[in-house]
Amino acid sequence: MVPDKKDNEEAIKNVLTTYGNLLYRTAYIFLGNPHDVQDILQETLIKYMEKAPVFREKEHEKAWLLKVTSNLCRDFLRFHRRHACVNLDDLENLPVPPDQRDFIREITALPAKWKSVLLLHYVEGYSIKETAKITGLTENAVKKRLQRGRDALKKQLTESEGLYEQYQ
């Protein structure tokens, strides 16, 4: 038997009233960002509605909700650690001379596979061998991505009002 919409709404209201603050605090401790916390809580409630679990007692329900929330937070953090990105608006706050901000913007516009090896090799100063080890690529793959990244950056800079000549 599928629970009707009114039962789902009542169950969600009950969960939010009873455990909302606890779940919010738990997710906030993991993530530290209220916007991400809201996303995680929404996903937790969706899982609660999809699974429609039957609990033996209130403590079991509480434990289930906490476990789901903490697992979703861990998955969120793992995803963002593997798929790191830079907010382009944050570039204004970088300790970079103003005349190089356009150059940094051009680098961040590159595809991730080129950008990551360019940053590791040229900005962070890792050797090709070290870059290969960090990225899990072969040395030849790193060399090829460096070459393609440099070519793409050169093309971008040439098209962007003569920035290429400025950084040669």
Q: Which amino acid is located at 77 in the chain?
A: L
What does the pLDDT look like over 144-153, one tens digit per residue? Answer: 999 998 898 8
What does the pLDDT look like over 33-92, one tens digit per residue? Answer: 889 999 999 999 899 888 777 777 777 888 888 889 989 998 998 887 777 665 555 555
pLDDT, residue 134, reads 77
Q: What is the rounded distance in angstroms from the CA atom of residue 78 to the CA atom of residue 74?
A: 6
Phi first, then psi: give them for residue 3, nearest 5 degrees.
-65, 140
- Which candidate, 39, 45, 60, 59, places its Cα nearest to that of 11? 45
Place of tokens 């098209």: 159
Q: Which amino acid is located at 18 in the chain?
A: T
pLDDT, residue 161, reads 56
pTM of the full structure = 0.49
Residue 63 · residue 19 · CB < 8 Å = no
pLDDT, residue 43, reads 94
Residue 47 · residue 91 · CB < 8 Å = no
